[in-house]
Amino acid sequence: MTMALFAAGSISATVDTPEIDDTTSFWRWDFAWEVLPAMLESFFKVTLLVTVVGTLIAAVLGLIIAILIRLLPRPLSILVTWIANFIRMTPIVVQLLIVFYGFVWMEPMTIALVVYGVHYSTYMSEVYRAGIDSVPRGQWEASTALSMSSGRTWRRVIIPQALRSTVPSLGNYAISMFKDTPFLISISVMEMVTTALEIGGFTYRYIETITIAGLIFLVASYFTAVLVNRLEKRLAYAY
């Protein structure tokens, strides 16, 4: 018998429900291969999308926050710092629920992208701040001596040097975002782990689905770490 297992936006999948006596076997390869397409579909359409877009938002917004904290007058700098600290110290699931119920006209996926991007931007802003502070004072003085504008100094001197020391930490936060995506179930977004639980609830087989979800997370995190490592080496050679 075939039944619909889940539906979230455009995501849908069906698998064959096993017979009752099949639940006594610890692992079924045929069942694992059967549910793999549904798991991958959920990963690419939700988990990976939220992570990639959220990381891009966080990386850009985090840099803006770090620069604003350094350039704004002290009262405004303290205000921005306080807001960033408040967001960083509040659980992401709470932020998802507040936006979900407070902005009911927004699509859940849009909420997910915005909340994850803003939440992790506060972490990345601290990484950028440390990277900026690590730039030798002589670089600032040399830029001033060469009559470089403030914008040009940031673009051509400070940010390139700061990025070299921040890339590994930024990559770690991207991997952390992968592992935080199961919280999306709180706003009715079916990501990969929730899909695994849904399939397990219909078929009474959780070992295969949860194991597949874990392996997909492992592979995705590994390739992310490899990309970050290559980017770090490229930046080291570039500057």
**CA dist 149 → 47, 48, 146, 197 (Å):** 42, 39, 9, 56
pLDDT at 2 over 50: no
Domain contains 19: no
Domain contains 188: yes
Q: What is the model's pLDDT at position 154?
A: 85
Domain contains 230: yes
Q: Exposed, middle or buried: residue 5 (CB in 10 Å: 0-12, 13-18, 19+)?
A: buried
Domain contains 21: no
Specify the 3-state DSSP secondary structure of 15. Answer: strand
Domain contains 17: no
Average pLDDT over residues 222-229: 88
Total domains present in the chain: 1
pLDDT band at residue 6 under the 50/70/90 scheme: very low
Q: What is the model's pLDDT at position 76?
A: 94
> 206 near 31, Cβ under 8 Å?
no
- Spatial CB neighbours of 56, under 8 Å, sequence gap ≥ 6: 117
pLDDT at 140 over 90: no
Domain contains 14: no
DSSP-derived secondary structure letter, 47: I
Domain contains 155: yes
Q: What is the model's pLDDT at position 10?
A: 38
What residues make up the domain containing 103? 2-8+26-238
What percentage of residues in the chain have a pLDDT greater than 90? 56
pLDDT tens, 78-119? 999 999 999 999 999 999 999 999 998 999 999 999 999 999
Average pLDDT over residues 200-213: 91
Domain contains 209: yes
CATH code, domain carrying 143: 1.10.3720.10
pLDDT tens, 18-31? 443 455 578 888 89
Comparison of pLDDT for 41 and 150, the residue scoring more: 41
SS3 content of the chain, % helix, strand, coil (to 5): 80, 5, 15
| Entry pTM | 0.84
